[in-house]
């Protein structure tokens, strides 16, 4: 269970709050390999698609290889959103773990400024600020924030039962090896009480995350971009 939890965390960060002027990237699909040491333990895909006057951002993460044969986990997250005054505004969010093991549905009422969050049979309703993000769309919001030059970020995240606040401070430029060769990136670090996440964004590719490193209790997981379509 701990391995599956860490796998999910290494594929996740926090959601964006700050206003940004950077435009959305073109439609894309990004594929990542997740490793622990020399072993591949999972993979993930992130995609952005236009749907009429709305957008859909989808994240699929799953265990693979030996770990996958023992602790098979597949997590699908999907957000339908619109752009409002230069901000990503979520409309619907869905989370499915192993199809039916754990299911979350969120609907956003922007007139009342409330979110209706259904987890199993429990319904939680709470107020939200104008710039709130859900548990998946942060990945796209953070790309736009970093692209717009924001380095000290404050975030509101609509989680299952309550609104959470996070802060990200500091960034640095760094050249790293990638599927595109050695490229310039902007590295951002997110620290919590027991863990630390570092994300390397590539300016040349609409600030797509090239590498994600997650550390907790002396254990390190890496997610590296292996394929990028559409950009």
Q: How far apart are CA 72 and CA 81, in angstroms?
A: 30
pLDDT at 39: 83
Q: Return the half-sphere exposure (C-beta side, CA atoms, 13 A cut-off) of residue 7.
A: 28
pLDDT at 14: 40
Cβ-based neighbours of 212, under 8 Å, separated by 6 or more: 10, 11, 13, 32, 197, 198, 199, 200, 222, 223
Q: Is the pLDDT of residue 108 over 90?
A: yes
Q: How far apart are CA 131 and CA 137, in angstroms?
A: 12
State the average pLDDT over residues 198-207.
91
What's the mean pLDDT when you consider all of the chain? 81
Cα 75 to chain center, whole Å? 13
Q: Which neighbouring-strand residues pair with 172?
A: 187
Q: Is the pLDDT of residue 100 over 60?
A: yes
Question: Which token pair is 65?
Answer: 């290889």
Q: How far apart are CA 210 and CA 46, in angstroms?
A: 12
Confidence of residue 2 (pLDDT cuts 50, 70, 90): very low
The torsion angles phi and psi of 56, rounded to 5 degrees, stand at -125, 125
Between 85 and 76, the higher pLDDT residue: 76
Question: Which token pair is 87?
Answer: 């901000």
pLDDT at 158: 83
The torsion angles phi and psi of 134, rounded to 5 degrees, stand at -90, -175
Cβ-based neighbours of 215, under 8 Å, separated by 6 or more: 195, 196, 197, 221
Q: What is the DSSP letter of 23?
A: P
Q: Which of 22, 23, 21, 43 is nearest to 34 (CA)?
A: 43
Lowest mean per-residue pLDDT among 80-94, 119-133, 187-201: 187-201
Q: Is the pLDDT of residue 181 over 60?
A: yes
Confidence of residue 226 (pLDDT cuts 50, 70, 90): very high
Q: Tens digit of pLDDT for each residue in 5-24?
A: 444 444 444 434 444 457 78
State the average pLDDT over residues 28-38.
90
Q: What does each C-alpha distance from 105 to 96, 166, 180 come to in angstroms?
A: 9, 22, 37
Cβ-based neighbours of 5, under 8 Å, separated by 6 or more: none
**Is residue 69 classed as helix, strand or coil in its secondary structure?**
helix
pLDDT at 86: 79
Q: What is the CATH number of domain 2-229?
A: 2.50.20
User: Domain-by-domain residue ranges, the chain?
Assistant: 2-229
pLDDT at 24: 85
Q: What is the DSSP letter of 205?
A: G
Q: How far apart are CA 10 and CA 74, in angstroms?
A: 14
């Amino acid at each position: 269970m701990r391995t599956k939890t860490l796998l999910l965390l290494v594929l996740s960060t926090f959601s964006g709050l700050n206003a940004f002027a950077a435009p959305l990237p073109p439609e894309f699909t990004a594929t990542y390999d997740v490793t622990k040491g020399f072993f591949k333990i999972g993979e993930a895909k992130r995609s952005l698609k236009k749907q009429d006057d709305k957008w859909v951002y989808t994240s699929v993460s799953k265990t693979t290889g030996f770990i996958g044969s023992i602790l098979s986990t597949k997590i699908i997250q999907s957000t339908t959103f619109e752009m409002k005054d230069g901000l990503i505004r979520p409309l619907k969010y869905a989370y499915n773990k192993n199809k039916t093991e754990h299911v979350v549905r969120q609907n956003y009422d922007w007139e009342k400024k409330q979110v209706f969050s259904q987890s199993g049979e429990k319904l939680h309703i709470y107020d939200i600020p104008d710039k709130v993000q859900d548990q998946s769309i942060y990945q796209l919001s953070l790309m736009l924030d970093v692209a717009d030059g924001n380095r000290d970020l404050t975030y509101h995240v609509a989680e299952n039962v309550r609104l959470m606040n996070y802060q990200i401070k500091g960034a640095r430029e760094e050249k790293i090896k990638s599927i595109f060769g050695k490229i310039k990136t902007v590295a951002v670090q997110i620290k919590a009480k027991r863990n630390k996440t570092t994300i390397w964004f590539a300016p040349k590719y609409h600030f797509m995350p090239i590498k994600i490193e997650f550390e907790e209790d002396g254990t390190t997981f890496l997610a590296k971009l292996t394929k990028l379509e559409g950009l």
